[in-house]
Structure 1
Amino acid sequence: MQFDRTGLSNEQLLSFYNALIYPRLIEEKMLLLLRQGKISKWFSGIGQEAIAVGATLALEDDEWILPLHRNLGVFTTRRMPLHKLLKQWQGSDEGYSKGRERSFHFGNRDHHICGMISHLGPQLSIADGIALAHQYKHEPKVTLAFTGEGGTSEGEFHEALNLAAVWDLPVIFLIENNGYALSTPTHEQYRCHDLVDKAAGYGMEGVRVDGNNLLEVYQTVKTARNYAVQTQKPVLIEAVTFRMRGHEEASGVKYVPAALFEMWEKKDPITQYANYLKEINLLSDEEITRIQQQLKTQIENEVALGLQTPPIRVNTALELSDVYAPAIPAVNPGPAAKEQRFIDAIAEGLKEAMHQFPELILMGQDIAEYGGAFKITEGLLKEFGNRVRNTPLCESAVIGAALGLSIGGFKSMVEMQFGDFVTCGFNQIVNNLAKIHYRWGQAADVVIRMPAGGGVGAGPFHSQTNEAWFTHVPGLKVVYPSAPADAKGLLLAALADPNPVMFFEHKALYRSITGMVPEGYYTIEFGKARLVQAGTDISIITYGSGVHWAVNYAMQHPGISIGILDLRSLHPLDYDAIREITAATGKVLVLHEDTLTGGFGAEISAWIAEHCFELLDAPVMRCASLDTPVPFAQELEKNFLAKARLDGYIQRLFQW
């Protein structure tokens, strides 16, 4: 094994040895604590330390790293105190995630580390977003994201690398190829000879290194960093290594041929580097013993401190409050107003927000020169330049990049060309955006605009209204306006809010609905419903297109006094308004365009039954669309929509 010390002093070489041996000694102690039941799980990086340590040493301390669960060396090289790490591994509320995450599934802004989630791959596109934030701020910084050879089979790997290449982002993608994804060997993962061969397909530079050679990793990452910063282009590095223990300790290593352990044990990164330092007379066996003993003493002291962990203190109010970052107070509208279509109110809201928030970035397919599929962003590119970005067709990577922008101090809006396409980014939304503030206090300042709904003959893949998928997820806010003034005010509130917001816009309302819209900047508070009209016979609780169905029905049936409540915001929900309109009539119909089973109406009706039972004069009823995909043919679609059954439900309820 050849070592290249170019540019490194003797002092640096010795400090590198300390950085390399320290995580190994910690691991040996952790494996003992694991057997003693003092920590619950461990993913060993023994034999792979040179990659995590070398890469971290090559970066500046304020450059973000997105590690995996076998990268203890990243955390130790960034000087995170071992006693606090141990509290994290024990699930203590004094750890980095207050007991909400295990092992290395956490992040920390002070150390510029963004923790992984168990779904391998999503961290790669977050790195794209952080790098994009550096570009917007003209900072000469790089972002480094780890993945394993198994993770390269994920679609997110392709999306993230492609996005970084297309957008010329200074990202280093570092593959730790240790031969096995749990028990699956590389020949069952990919057919290219080397994973670095994939770099050419994305139009980026790639290099393959000996992952057990500390200085080779360091020099390669250092060179890649300088190249990425100077050229503003990404780099792919494949670091070849071996996993000396199981995927995690419970899985064992019986599936690995014994000969591989014998071969790789001779390549142990610590032994090889120590031998090199001895060869150049920088280290002796006595000094190695002294350094190791000194570090072991330090580890014992830190462990003793870390084990002084009181029982976790359960605080339900704190648990609930930490799901979301603090909201922004509402801004009341001014007196001036003008009549606008629903679509124009949304477009004006985006423009107002771009002026209000210079850190706001708009992203989506065809939203720049073309102006978006519905022309909502038309003209914004000319006015705001590169803050309006076309994206490749990669919903997941773009949403991940939006989260990275948030980590970098920006706001972002991601437009789904059609709300149906959000399925391609589902993992990023429900597991990254929704959970990150609860996990380690990082806000996800992202709005996802969702053109949704039927009634326009667009068939099963362009007509869904899928709000119920997201109202179930703690950490997301879900908004669904029906009126132009609400559309603008709620959109501005969503873009002001530091939390992830799913903003539903019904396509059929875009050009069919008009109303008076306040001019200038204003916001409407989430969780405040709008009483459209009072009634004494029946109360309809609805949102989106359902509001207009209800209003039209009430106009056509003046003999029935119908109260109509427009929820506007589904999460948070205005329970006070629901109770008030229930009390007004004692008969409640929950109306929505989504399909019946599992629709959001079930949540509303269940809450009324539980909390307002004494106010009811009849069962709460739900009027929803058929439990089928949305059909294309006009007559079939009319029959599918809840509107087709509205009269039947109202008559049944009225006659109860």
Structure 2
Amino acid sequence: MEPVFDTALIAAEAPTDPLALYRALKLPRTVEEKMLRLIRQNRISKWFSGYGQEAIAVGVASGLEERDWLLPMHRNLGVWTTRGVELPRLFCQLMGREGGFTNGRDRTFHFGLPEKRIVGMISHLAAMLPVADGLGLAAQMNGSGAVAAAFVGEGATREGEFHEALSLAGTWNLPVLFIVENNGYGLSTPTADALPVEDVAEAAAGYGMPGYIVDGNDVLAVRSIVKTVADRARDGGGPALLEMKTFRMRGHEEASGTKYVPDDLFDLWRYRDPVLRLRQRLLDAGTPESDLDAIDADLAAQIEDVAEWALTQPECVSTTEREHGALFAPHASREVAAGGTQEARFIDAVSAGLGDAMEADETVLVMGQDVAEYGGVFKVTEGFLERFGADRVRNTPIIENGALGCAMGLALDGFKPVVEMQYADFISCGFNQIVNNLATTHYRWGSPLNVTIRAPFGGGIGAGPFHSQSPEAWFCHVPGLKVVVPGTPQDAKGLLRAAIEDPNPVLVFEHKKLYRSLRGAVASGEVVTPIGTARIAREGEDLTLVTWGVGLVWAEAEAERQRLQSGASVEVIDLRTLVPWDREAVLASVEKTGRLIVLHEATRTGGFGAEIAAEIAEAAFAHLDAPPVRIGGADLPIAFSKQIENEVYTAESRLSAAIERTLSY
């Protein structure tokens, strides 16, 4: 069907420099042609072609200003070329050669160039849209006047993050443009088989923003409407959704082919080719054809040279040390415990640590569900709205992925967001942003991401299966995340402050039962507890008991009972940090005692205790006088019944017998 375009906001303007615009449009086309030749020659293995869609990337990039952010997808080569990205390095990146932007750690356009205000994609579609929200929010807060434009295919508009991002942008009136490239197909599924409506732009009204249908094969139309809605966003008019109607002239990637596409669609869209249309328009306006031919020839020669040069560069290689060194942004941790001590509840220590960080650094802000006027469901942020203002204490909609992606965008532009998960159980709704976006970014392209995620977790309060989980082990398996679990009020204050200062994503698991049941001495001034350092909570000689969180309360109580009952001397190690965990401290203790028990509340199977037990068994086997023992929760959901939880599920009930068994081995 012939597409219908809304031309209401498309000005009938001529380009200020028509030859420059033609060159900008023809450059990605020339690269496309070279890459398609190379893949036919079997000299490269993969290419995601944007042939015929170049007007969208070029039009958007040329319609924005240098201060604006662009978040392209894999068919948006024109974003990179229009922003003047260095072509030799870009070709090395595209071909996986030394000299590219990710050092062989990721492919094609899966990287960012903050100096060019570009943030590339990950493979999980629509995941970058909430990041654009964060960049837009940063622009609002720092007064830069920047706009963020994020690209997405029409198929990915069915993803939850599309809707979460639009919801947040509309609610906060953010300067964000959502660019939907409707090119007719997903991989092979026609759009009509995947979308219940013909025009994605209709969705905009539901999120309080205008939506426009644009001829995506007309670079002038694209550029004009982008300028219009970007200026509107800069003036406080908020976000907009632009649906660019276009067509995918090649396969999803070249190997998949196009046999599933009817020939008549190619015939229809071939006449709408964006390069030919602009060329004809310029010829009709009196531009000499020789000028356009000269641009074509010059670009063809340049791209031929740079592509052939890139193919001669060595393939990417590395070392184990270099790769591990790239995982985290460098950070010199510090240890501070200023002022005299006073007794405080665990929850008050968390609140104090967060408040101190916000007092010390204006780039720290808090986001989450009900964290502002209500003070959070556990009241950690009670009074923060009055202390720090609405810009820095923000209620979000119920959008875990949306809030976490927004935090990533904020961090990319210099802020230090703290995101509260209302309950750690709900963190699964934000899993994609944590494990695929936040965790991988520094390793892939070197950008630090100072994002702290607070997660109230654990059982013992009769809250049932969906408000009692201990999911910390999920994230210990993901390279690029740091995971801390305080077990004392002092560490609740100090580890949170350390997390906020760390230029890497850190998850802070705070045990709900400890919030108001545990009191302890807390330094009254600044407190920073270094991440990655365990603490000997109780000296002992006969057995090492490693634990964290609420397990520390159980361990210290049982160690004292053992001393009184049998005279056994149990050393209790409060691990405090799970990633990176203090291997040396645990090894030193086990070499002294010869016995190891690892205790945690979480389900035993797959719990982080298995990692510690296995590592110590391997590294300190000669020092062990008994097999390492793991004690965890039963392999069951946590029941609402307190009797079932306390007598069937909880690890605490099995601790005493395990210690006695291990000591008598």
Of 426-435 and 265-274, more deviation after overlay is shown by 265-274
Residue 628 in structure 1 maps to residue 661 in structure 2: no
Alpha-carbon distance, 1:287 to partner: 2.9
Residue 646 in structure 1 maps to residue 650 in structure 2: no
Q: 1:451 aligns with which of 456, 465, 482?
A: 456
Give 1:187's aligned residue. 192
C-alpha distance in 1 between matches for 2:144 and 2:42: 45
Taking a change above 3 Å as real, the CA distance of residues 111 and 467 of structure 1, as seen in their structure-2 partners, is same
Please tell me whether residue 359 in structure 1 is matched to residue 329 in structure 2: no
Q: What is the aligned partner in structure 2 of residue 235 from structure 1?
A: 240
- Name the residue aligned to 2:590: 582
AA matched with 1:651: E
Output the CA distance in 1 between the equivalents of 2:316 and 2:302.
Answer: 26
Tell me the residue number matched to 1:350: 354
Q: Any idea what the Cα deviations from partners look like across 1:592-622, whole Å, max 9, x if unmatched? A: 0010111000000010011000110010010
Is the contact between residue 19 and residue 292 of structure 2 (CA under 8 Å) also seen in structure 1? no
How far apart are residue 7 of structure 1 and its match? 5.0
User: Does the 8 Å contact 1:82/1:306 carry over to 2?
Assistant: no
Which runs of 5 or more structure 2 residues have no equivalent in the other structure? none
Greater displacement, 288-297 / 310-319: 310-319
1:260-279 correspondence to structure 2 within 5 Å: 260-279=265-284
Could you tell me whether the CA contact under 8 Å between 1:330 and 1:522 is conserved in 2?
Answer: no
Whole-Å separation in 2 of the counterparts to 1:462 and 1:4 = 51
Letter in structure 2 aligned against 1:483: T
Choose which of 593, 605, 608 in structure 1 pairs with 2:601: 593
| Greater displacement, 518-527 / 565-574 | 518-527
Amino acid corresponding to residue 645 of structure 1 in structure 2: R
Moved more, 417-426 or 307-316: 307-316
Alignment partner, residue 513 of structure 2: 508
What is the identity, as a one-letter code, of the residue corresponding to 1:648? A
Determine the C-alpha separation between the residues in 2 that align with 1:231 and 1:480: 41
Aligned counterpart, 1:430:
435
Shift of 1:547: 0.8
Superposition pairs for residues 329-340 of structure 1, below 5 Å? Answer: 329-340=333-344
TM-aligned CA deviation for residue 313 of structure 1: 3.3
What amino acid sits opposite 1:649 in the alignment? A
Q: 2:318 aligns with which of 314, 318, 329?
A: 314
Q: Which amino acid aligns with 2:418?
A: M
Check conservation: 1:530, 1:565, Cα contact below 8 A.
yes
Structure 2 counterpart of 1:409, from 411, 414, 431? 414
* Structure 1 counterpart of 2:34, one-letter code: K
- 55, 65, 72: which one aligns with 1:67: 72
Q: Which residue of 1 aligns with 2:575?
A: 567
Q: 1:199 aligns with which of 189, 195, 204?
A: 204
Whether contact under 8 Å (1:140, 1:229) holds in the other structure is yes
On the 8 A contact 1:39/1:89 being kept in 2, the answer is: no
Give the distance between the partners of 2:650 and 2:246, measured in 1 at CA.
57
Residues in 2 aligned to 1:38 and 1:340: alpha-carbon distance in whole angstroms: 66
The 5 A counterparts of 1:597-612 are 597-612=605-620
For residues 37-116 of structure 1, the aligned pairs below 5 Å read 37-116=42-121
Identical-pair percentage:
50
Instruction: Measure the CA separation in 1 of the matches of 2:585 and 2:237.
Output: 52
**Whole-angstrom CA distance in 2 between matches of 1:510 and 1:195:** 46
Contact 1:479 1:571 in 2 (8 A): yes
CA distance in 2, matches of 1:628, 1:156: 31
Aligned residue for 1:602, secondary structure, equals: helix
Name the counterpart of 2:623.
615
The residue that corresponds to 1:487 in the other structure is 492
Structure 2 Cα separation of the partners of residues 283 and 457 of structure 1: 79
Q: CA deviation at 1:463?
A: 0.3
Equivalent positions of 1:11-50 (< 5 A) are 12-50=17-55
Per-residue CA shift, 1:494-531, capped at 9, x if unaligned? Answer: 00001000100000101111111112223111111010
Deviations 1:426-457 (A, max 9, x none): 00000000000011111111000010000000
Give SS of 2:179's match. strand
**Equivalent runs, 1:520-539 vs 2, <5 Å:** 520-539=525-544
Counterpart position of 1:287: 291
Q: Shift of residue 282 of structure 1? A: 1.8
Structure 1 stretches of 5 or more lacking a match? none
Secondary structure in structure 2 of the residue aligned to 1:630: coil
Give how far 1:306 is off.
2.1
CA distance in structure 2 between the partners assigned to 1:392 and 1:128 by the alignment: 13
Report the Cα offset of residue 185 of structure 1: 1.0
Q: What is the CA-CA distance between 1:92 and the residue it aligns to?
A: 2.2
Distance 2:98 2:517 in 1: 53
Q: CA deviation at 1:6?
A: 4.5
Aligned length: 654
Amino acid at match of 1:308: T
Contact 1:41–1:103 under 8 Å retained in 2: no
Aligned mates of 1:602, 1:583 — CA distance in 2: 19
Displacement, 1:314? Answer: 1.4
Q: Is the 8 A contact 1:26 1:299 kept in 2?
A: yes
Deviations 1:156-181 (A, max 9, x none): 00000000000110000000000001
Residues 1:23 and 1:70: Cα distance change in structure 2 (over 3 Å):
same
The letter for the 1-side match of 2:333 is P
Q: CA deviation at 1:232?
A: 4.1
